[in-house]
Amino acid sequence: DSGVTQTPKHLITATGQRVTLRCSPRSGDLSVYWYQQSLDQGLQFLIQYYNGEERAKGNILERFSAQQFPDLHSELNLSSLELGDSALYFCASSERTEYNEQFFGPGTRLTVL
Amino acid sequence: QQQVKQSPQSLIVQKGGISIINCAYENTAFDYFPWYQQFPGKGPALLIAIRPDVSEKKEGRFTISFNKSAKQFSLHIMDSQPGDSATYFCAASRGSTLGRLYFGRGTQLTVWP
Residue of B39, B98, B107 to mutate, interface with A, max A Cβ within 10 Å: B98
Alpha-carbon distance of A68 to A29, in angstroms, equals 12
Ranges of residues in chain A whose predicted pLDDT is under 70: 96-99
Q: Which residues of B touch A106 (CB under 8 A)?
A: 42-43
Residue A40 pLDDT: 85
Q: Answer for the pair B71, B91: CB distance below 8 angstroms, yes or no.
A: no
Alpha-carbon distance of A53 to A69, in angstroms, equals 9
What three-state secondary structure class fits A84? helix
Residue B2 pLDDT: 83
Per-residue pLDDT tens digits for B18-65: 999 999 999 998 989 999 999 999 999 999 999 888 999 999 999 999
Interface check B51 vs A, CB under 8 A: yes
Q: Answer for the pair B80, B59: CB distance below 8 angstroms, yes or no.
A: no
Contact B46 A103 (CB under 8 A): yes
Q: Which of A43, A100, A104 sits opposite B99 (nearest CB)?
A: A100
What three-state secondary structure class fits B96? coil
Tell me which chain A residue has its CA closest to the CA of residue B106: A42
Residue B96 pLDDT: 55
- Looking at every residue in chain A, the average pLDDT score rounds to 94
User: Which DSSP letter does residue B69 get?
Assistant: T
User: Which DSSP letter does residue B97 get?
Assistant: S
Q: Answer for the pair A92, A44: CB distance below 8 angstroms, yes or no.
A: no
Contact A98 B105 (CB under 8 A): no
Q: Answer for the pair A47, A33: CB distance below 8 angstroms, yes or no.
A: yes
Work out the end-to-end distance of chain A between its first and last CA atoms, rounded to an integer number of angstroms. Answer: 31
Per-residue pLDDT tens digits for B54-106: 999 999 999 999 999 999 999 999 999 999 999 999 999 986 556 789 999 99
User: Which DSSP letter does residue B99 get?
Assistant: P
Residue A93 pLDDT: 95
What's the gap between Cα A59 and its chain centre?
13
Angle at B28 between CA B25 and CA B29, to 5 degrees: 115
Buried b (16+ CB within 10 A) or exposed e, B79-113: ebeeebbbbbbbbbbeeeebbbbbbbbbbebebee
